[in-house]
Amino acid sequence: MSSKRVCLAYSGGLDTSTILKWLILEGYTVVCFLADVGQEEDFPAVEKKALALGAERMIIDNLQQEFVDELIFPAIQCNAIYEDRYLLGTSLARPVIARAQVRAAQKYKCDFLSHGCTGKGNDQVRFELAWKACDPSISIIAPWRLPKFFNRFQGRADLLKFAAENDIPVSSSPKAPWSMDDNLAHCSYESGILEKPELEPPANLWTRTVDPLKAPDVPTKFTLHFAKGIPTKLEIGGEEVVGSLEIFKALNKVGHDNGVGRIDIVESRFIGLKSRGCYDTPGLTIARLAHIDIEGLVLDSRVRTLRDRNVTTEWSQCLYNGMYFSPEREFLENSIVFSQKNVNGQVHMMVYKGSAYVLGRSSETSNLYSEIEASMDTLEGFSPEDTSGFIAIQAIRLEKYGAQKIKDGEPLAKAN
Amino acid sequence: MSSKRVCLAYSGGLDTSTILKWLILEGYTVVCFLADVGQEEDFPAVEKKALALGAERMIIDNLQQEFVDELIFPAIQCNAIYEDRYLLGTSLARPVIARAQVRAAQKYKCDFLSHGCTGKGNDQVRFELAWKACDPSISIIAPWRLPKFFNRFQGRADLLKFAAENDIPVSSSPKAPWSMDDNLAHCSYESGILEKPELEPPANLWTRTVDPLKAPDVPTKFTLHFAKGIPTKLEIGGEEVVGSLEIFKALNKVGHDNGVGRIDIVESRFIGLKSRGCYDTPGLTIARLAHIDIEGLVLDSRVRTLRDRNVTTEWSQCLYNGMYFSPEREFLENSIVFSQKNVNGQVHMMVYKGSAYVLGRSSETSNLYSEIEASMDTLEGFSPEDTSGFIAIQAIRLEKYGAQKIKDGEPLAKAN
Amino acid sequence: MSSKRVCLAYSGGLDTSTILKWLILEGYTVVCFLADVGQEEDFPAVEKKALALGAERMIIDNLQQEFVDELIFPAIQCNAIYEDRYLLGTSLARPVIARAQVRAAQKYKCDFLSHGCTGKGNDQVRFELAWKACDPSISIIAPWRLPKFFNRFQGRADLLKFAAENDIPVSSSPKAPWSMDDNLAHCSYESGILEKPELEPPANLWTRTVDPLKAPDVPTKFTLHFAKGIPTKLEIGGEEVVGSLEIFKALNKVGHDNGVGRIDIVESRFIGLKSRGCYDTPGLTIARLAHIDIEGLVLDSRVRTLRDRNVTTEWSQCLYNGMYFSPEREFLENSIVFSQKNVNGQVHMMVYKGSAYVLGRSSETSNLYSEIEASMDTLEGFSPEDTSGFIAIQAIRLEKYGAQKIKDGEPLAKAN
Amino acid sequence: MSSKRVCLAYSGGLDTSTILKWLILEGYTVVCFLADVGQEEDFPAVEKKALALGAERMIIDNLQQEFVDELIFPAIQCNAIYEDRYLLGTSLARPVIARAQVRAAQKYKCDFLSHGCTGKGNDQVRFELAWKACDPSISIIAPWRLPKFFNRFQGRADLLKFAAENDIPVSSSPKAPWSMDDNLAHCSYESGILEKPELEPPANLWTRTVDPLKAPDVPTKFTLHFAKGIPTKLEIGGEEVVGSLEIFKALNKVGHDNGVGRIDIVESRFIGLKSRGCYDTPGLTIARLAHIDIEGLVLDSRVRTLRDRNVTTEWSQCLYNGMYFSPEREFLENSIVFSQKNVNGQVHMMVYKGSAYVLGRSSETSNLYSEIEASMDTLEGFSPEDTSGFIAIQAIRLEKYGAQKIKDGEPLAKAN
């Protein structure tokens, strides 16, 4: 019926194939949508399957360029990180996917947006908050939160039974005992056997990085150039790579080959649960390290402190919690861009068996580092007595503190 | 003369030997002080030299235990880090050294404290602020900021000339073209040839870590236990290490042998200059990673956010800037301790050719992670419809934001 | 039936009387609960009404003392404020009420907790989050969010009809065209005619303060003493008031009589809506001002900055959002207490026609203020040259900034 | 001598007249500079005196417009405040004055800048940091920090003696026993008899506000309009005032006449001392309150929280500490401007005997407040069940917290 059109995020897997069929059986016309954000995927096969199952059409939208330009590079610019470890690979992809799906829904006059995310995860929140911000007029169908659906499909067996009954092809290769989300930024691994956080993930889990133990015995060196905090050129193996997407893919490759960027953490989901996730994030790990390093050379220390304290974590939490399309993210990103206007220069690096190292850096445009000033061997342009005054003034407060401690009978000079 | 007694931080090197002699020539009685904070050092030789040069006495004070317990472990508890990279090895040692030197000065009735730090660095600030807080009644002699001294000794040649004239023994081995500061936490390398931040440091620079390229081809695995955020046991190679100092030394060894903890950065000194520093910090790098990991499992997410934003960076800056003995550090440390009361558990790890990896973690005392709750495969104790309400309420603000954007002619659904 | 026992927050008004009756008709046994947090109320009349309507019993619990000691005074200690204006009167009362109701429910073996809060407000969140933290085993009935209830009672007319049918007495005096929440800390006014934020509230709205225009023509002076940031004595009109509850009531009286503490704001509710609220908060306004003032004299500037940035707003948001019983509130309150250990002294004040003024302050225990040091007329203990060095070092960064601006063709010396 | 030209901040008072004469006697050619930032001053008399004392010329620069536009209005936009009380009147004026003096120094080829600030205060720091940033090539003479000067002039008697010897006219009216700094934003009063912070300032101290006790018995009402957070129109007494300077002066007048904006505090100076200051700040107090109020209506709650936490205090500290011309202030101000793009509307207010009150507010451009949504009387567009889900998800963390407390034997339901 024309009044019940749904745009469904469709991956070709068992879950979303079931949802596709179920929506059709519920009387909806379904437009399937799949974003190409750089994941390993047989796109024609997905399209064929969607159409075979009765989708009105299958839209495959290549978002790699906007993913890199609008999300990954701003993440690099602010050294984004969640809970000190997670580089936000999945979180970064969600806004571009969600936005593109809204565009598709608008183009094909859909009344509903739908996805196959579970009711306990972060992704449902990220998709839906983005959808509601991007087009408040479109309604949402989240089958895994509808009793009618989740009571019917209580486990994989129910899905397989439904598939058999409805001619949904099921992959003959056994399902990995964990779930994955793959994109240009990273591949994530969670649930299944990973839900025991004390157990080491199996060696064959990782897809975007080789095992550090099997990485080349010789390090690879390269130079990454930045302008306004954004990677603009990669010199590697005698070649020059330019173009944001190309640079990022090349960083992914060198990171992959040398086993750089694996992490394994327990994190706090937005909805209040802890979960265990493994991530391999080769290119972003390298680029973030390079960016932190060049900032050391060219960013004013006070601006850095303010940016670290006020922007980095907050922007990362916005992304993690699905608040990309929010006034606060816009507010923060305005600060990011401003902070980066002098972040120009190049970083010389090495990767080797799981690690990335900075070997040196330089900038043509910044006056903040000065070899002469920094030198311990010369006093040119520096009056040592000034430091005496500086220390004396800084000490005023501290002397009072120490004097009070003595008066209170707890002199600081005593060891604890 | 009894009225002019100085307690000098004496290392046995050319600078402080010159200062020792110069102070004596200026009429002071000098008590030399050297802290043992775990550095590579021939302590008897230093003592012998000090006495030969005319020191009244040489005090060598073993501070390793209080260094670990009062500084290094609190740093681990709050994941201390400066400018996203530096683990504060030198900064951490300064408070215990400065305090012990005040105790020595008090014991031997010194009117002055003195050191050989240059006028451009951080250490002069750290020592003097600590001294002034610990005992405001003792005055300070900082020769490298006294015109009488720095005008006389304008370079190494002047020092060598003075040494020759005053029978100060000078090491026959050539001086490394950089300066070092070694302690249990790390060894730092700066100045000299390192003042060109674009040049890679030489391979023979590092002393606390083997070259990752030359590290063992087989990874080493171990388990670190925490109670209240503090390492309490290390299981490695079938052995159990207990005792804070012993654990930390064992972590240093495994880090050293596997090349873990090298960094090379340009940092912002407190006095407003940028400088380049290289650091190898094996044990602290490993322990900090383990601590961050166990916090992922057992620390409430909101407390973690507040601690990360309000305590970690601020405590680190206090230490870096020499403000350990300050009301704000005390205020922050009170928060650190409180935040750690449930940080109990163990982390299974691996080190291999320059990197440390977490392989798994567990805790007997925390209820924050629950395999059943986290599981994507079960809905036990979880009502998926709740998430719908959660999302709907979170979206109220965002829908208004999106609606305003549409009204303003800048719909969010458009790509940039 | 014994298996369906509810503890209902009962105020005696039309809403909760309807709910009481409705619950009974639904088959529940109802224990009514009313906290005495200092509001204007005819408690015996409420009890009589509850029992007449069929409540098993009516519990009236005087919580004034714990309200002052555990909530109001900590709020004073951290200068709590929400969105720069609101002193959190209602938010402060909720935790003690919610906790006491849980105790009552436990004592009388209730399976459910219930309240009459609407589905759009903050109070439902505050009560329920507190209940769930205090006793996760008790379930919640929120009638205004149950379709069965809210569809039946769509407006005041439905409530009145139900009252008539069920012999629920309805007050003969006309209802004020706004709602109120009264307690020791403040009285709030919202909804009804106040929902037009452009209109001035009527003069007869305010209950806890006289109209400033009608306040006495002569100011009233008094002195408030603090120990560890807590009011310990009030000297007023030749009398001394001691005891936390007594002091706070006396401050309320002097504030009331002089029209101090009225505000009128639009605020952001936790659930994402904006609403307009008017509040009169006499005693807390005065005590907060006095506390801020004494901190000026005795609190270290750096600790103050950290407390202001990290604790004040965060603690206030915890309270506003109903997160009193949370790990983060506990974490923050630990900081508050620590910050106050030296906040001792007295503040001399005046109130007059709507305003409170500080006239002077002193402290016997703090060494932070020194008349001699502060004096511009003497240099005792102060070396002016130190300031030159201090400025010179602080300027290093700024000179580079200015030099860069000149190089970039945007010299700072030009006006915009 | 042409090579020794000084541009001196000259006020006509005894201190700067002494410095002027002293500089001339030291062989300098002196260009006097006085900024008109709205203070009460007989400018022709100052000029006459400067020239009579031997100044080469006297520059009087009217900076009122740029003072309002570049400093006062940004302060309003970010609700600037220092230590919860001080509205930064003096701090705000310093950057425009310092910058204009640099321009004067450049125009008249001066090699030095000079001022008459004491060595213990904030203003020396503010002027000098601004000067060094605006033109690092000009040197600074700070007589009150030169031993040659401050040893000669140890008290007022020495100044008067020098004045008598050098034909410096001294005002016959007795000097007030405190010092003042007057500008458009406020007048400050400090030192002298005010250095006893326990004593009430004398009634005749205040110059920019009438005594609240003597203010009109009838309140004055008016409406202040904002666009992008900036006052654009004032409706008062049937008149409309436009133009930033004119609006601000009109606010000053209505504030003055009604005694609004007096504060008396002990504050923390940048150099580590505490000092007592009294300030009357009529217009800025009113405008800041109005701005806070309109933000309540139109600013997203999350952006407000971030701005409050990250920008307001930090910007205020930059100004207080003389860091206006700094990368961090520029960084922060970029955020201020961005945060204000939707801060449009009008605030209806009343002033009466020392207080300002908001009576109502409205905005034509914001959709954040909605009477229908906020209404407790209707459920239009709102699904109450959503709140149940919202609360349930928020409670997940808190239930674990409560459960842990029960397990630890400290159940939250117990009162302390």
- Taking 80 as the threshold, does the pLDDT of residue C60 lie above it? yes
Which residues, 6 or more positions from C154, have their beta carbon under 8 angstroms from its beta carbon?
A: none
- Cβ of C390 under 8 Å from any chain B Cβ? no
pLDDT band with cut points at 50, 70 and 90 for residue B1: very low
Yes or no: say if D68 and D184 are a contact pair by the CB < 8 Å rule: yes
Q: Supply the pLDDT for residue D184.
A: 98
Say what the ipTM of the complex is. Answer: 0.96
- DSSP characters for B55-123? -SEEEEEE-HHHIIIIIIHHHHHTT--BTTTB--HHHHHHHHHHHHHHHHHHHTT-SEEE----TTSSH
Q: How far is CA B163 from the centre of its chain?
A: 33
Q: Which residues pair with D34 in a beta bridge?
A: D60
Which residues, 6 or more positions from A328, have their beta carbon under 8 angstroms from its beta carbon?
A: A314, A318, D300, D302, D303, D306
pLDDT tens string D31-56: 999 999 999 999 999 999 999 999 99
State whether residue D30 is helix, strand or coil: strand
Q: Rounded mean pLDDT of chain A?
A: 95
pLDDT band with cut points at 50, 70 and 90 for residue B372: confident
Strand-pair category, B139-141 with B179-182: unpaired
pLDDT tens string B47-92: 999 999 999 999 999 999 999 999 999 999 999 999 999 999 999 9
Question: Are the beta carbons of C383 and A392 separated by less than 8 Å?
Answer: yes
Q: Which domains does chain C have, with CATH numbers?
A: 5-63+87-175 (3.40.50.620), 180-299+342-362 (3.90.1260.10), 371-407 (no CATH)
**Mean pLDDT to the nearest integer, B32-41:** 97
Q: Supply the pLDDT for residue C3.
A: 62
Q: Supply the pLDDT for residue A244.
A: 98
Q: Supply the pLDDT for residue C167.
A: 94
- DSSP characters for D336-399? HHHHTTT--EEEEEEEETTEEEEEEEE-SS--S--HHHH-TT--TT--HHHHHHHHHHHHHHHH
Q: Rounded mean pLDDT of chain D?
A: 95
**Residues C38, C39, C43, C47, CA torsion sign:** negative
Name the residue of chain D whose CA is nearest to B300's CA.
Answer: D397
pLDDT tens string C100-132: 999 999 999 999 999 999 888 999 999 999 999
Q: How many inter-chain contacts (B to C, CB under 8 Å) are there?
A: 61
Give me the percent of chain B exceeding a pLDDT of 70.
98
Nearest neighbour of C403 by CB, restricted to A367, A386, A393: A367
Question: Are the beta carbons of B306 and C314 separated by less than 8 Å?
Answer: yes
For the stretch D259-268, what's the b/e string if a residue is b when 16 or more beta carbons lie within 10 angstroms of its beta carbon?
A: bbbbbbbbbb
**Strand ranges (DSSP E) for A323-368?**
345-352, 355-362
- Cβ of B302 under 8 Å from any chain D Cβ? yes
Backbone angles phi, psi at D275, to 5 degrees: -145, 160
Q: Supply the pLDDT for residue C1.
A: 44
Distance from CA of D56 to the nearest CA of A (A): 32
The residues in B 202-261 lying below 8 A from A, measured between CB atoms, are 212-213, 219
User: Pick the catalytic residue: B61, B69, B111, B179?
Assistant: B179
Name the residue of chain B whose CA is nearest to A269's CA.
Answer: B301
Question: Are the beta carbons of B368 and D400 separated by less than 8 Å?
Answer: yes
Which residues, 6 or more positions from A337, have their beta carbon under 8 angstroms from its beta carbon?
A: A77, A228
pLDDT tens string C1-51: 456 999 999 999 999 999 999 999 999 999 999 999 999 999 999 999 999
Q: How many CB atoms lie within 10 A of CB C235?
A: 15
- Cβ of A374 under 8 Å from any chain D Cβ? no
**Mean pLDDT to the nearest integer, A174-182:** 92
- Cβ of A403 under 8 Å from any chain C Cβ? yes
Yes or no: say if A123 and B365 are a contact pair by the CB < 8 Å rule: no
State the residue for tokens 């870590």: B209
- Taking 80 as the threshold, does the pLDDT of residue C380 lie above it? no
- Provide, as residue numbers in chain B, all residues whose Cβ is less than 8 Å from the Cβ of C306: 310, 314, 328, 331-332
**Full-prediction pTM beyond 0.90?**
yes
Chains that touch A (3 or more CB pairs under 8 A): B, C, D
Nearest neighbour of D272 by CB, restricted to A272, A326, A396: A396
D296's tokens: 């309540």
D219's tokens: 């309140």
- Taking 60 as the threshold, does the pLDDT of residue D1 lie above it? no
- Cβ of B382 under 8 Å from any chain C Cβ? no
Distant-in-sequence contacts of C46-53, Cβ < 8 A, 24+ apart: C46/C10, C46/C11, C46/C12, C49/C12, C49/C17, C49/C169, C50/C10, C50/C12, C50/C20, C52/C169, C53/C17, C53/C20, C53/C21, C53/C24, C53/C166, C53/C168
Distance from CA of D358 to the nearest CA of C (A): 7
pLDDT tens string A254-288: 999 999 999 999 999 998 999 999 999 999 999 99
- Taking 80 as the threshold, does the pLDDT of residue D27 lie above it? yes
**Mean pLDDT to the nearest integer, C322-346:** 97
Interface mutation target, options A268, A288, A318, chain B, most CBs of B under 10 Å: A268
Q: Supply the pLDDT for residue A416.
A: 64
Nearest neighbour of A328 by CB, restricted to D272, D273, D302: D302
Nearest Cα neighbor of C98 from C62, C130, C135 is C130
pLDDT band with cut points at 50, 70 and 90 for residue C375: confident
Nearest neighbour of C386 by CB, restricted to A301, A367, A389: A389
D49's tokens: 């005196």
- Cβ of C372 under 8 Å from any chain B Cβ? no
- Provide, as residue numbers in chain B, all residues whose Cβ is less than 8 Å from the Cβ of D228: none
- Cβ of C133 under 8 Å from any chain D Cβ? yes
Q: Which residues pair with B58 in a beta bridge?
A: B32
- Taking 90 as the threshold, does the pLDDT of residue D307 lie above it? yes
Nearest neighbour of A118 by CB, restricted to B99, B376, B395: B376
**Mean pLDDT to the nearest integer, B400-416:** 89
Q: Supply the pLDDT for residue C416.
A: 63
